[in-house]
Structure formats: C-alpha cells, structure tokens
Amino acid sequence: MKIIITESQIALLRRLTELEQILDTSIKELNKDIMNSGPGNKPDNFGVYEGWVTNRIEWSFEDNNPDIKFTKHDFLMLMSGQFNNKIRKGFDKVKKKR
C-alpha cells in the first residue's frame, strides 16, 4: 500500500512541537473563557469543543507561519490524530454537567 503525503502535511509535521505549545495555550485560554462565561456557553459535545480549539490553533499557527500553506483537512487530520487525548482532557474540564 502506498501512502501519499503532501508538502503541506510534511510542513505541519515538522512543526509538531510548535503546534503542541499552541494547543496547550489555546486549551488553557479557551477553558478560562468558558469558565468565566455563562452556562449557555459551555460546549454540548466534544465535536463543538474540538472545533473551537482547532480554530484557535489554526489562527495562531497561520499568524506565526504565514509562509506555510495547508489545507483545512490536513490540519484537522493532524490535530485530531496527534492531539486527541489532550483535547479530550481539556473538554472534560469544562463540559456541561448532566
């Protein structure tokens, strides 16, 4: 089986450490924002929270690396595959209590 990796995927993989640092900061800031807001702003499910986190990471990464062009799909695949456990732990801290 052949695995095809695009140049944008390679560029993202080379910066995993930077992405992880941005992820840690984004989760901390997002959780603080959620806890300081009303109960209506808490995420209902993991998918919503994951979207919020990945958007923040994507914006920060694009600001720091304007020369790297990547597709949203490549970015989301890398984030959810590589850092799913960290994102899940962040979500568990702020999810709605039932």
pTM listed for this prediction: 0.80
On whether the CB atoms of residues 88 and 46 are closer than 8 A, the answer is yes
What is the predicted pLDDT for the residue at 25?
Answer: 94
- Indicate whether 76 pLDDT > 70: yes
Which pair of structure tokens corresponds to residue 41? 């702003």
Determine the distance from the C-alpha atom of residue 94 to the mean position of all C-alpha atoms in its chain, rounded to a whole number: 16
- Indicate whether 72 pLDDT > 70: yes
User: Any idea which residue has 């695995």 for tokens?
Assistant: 3
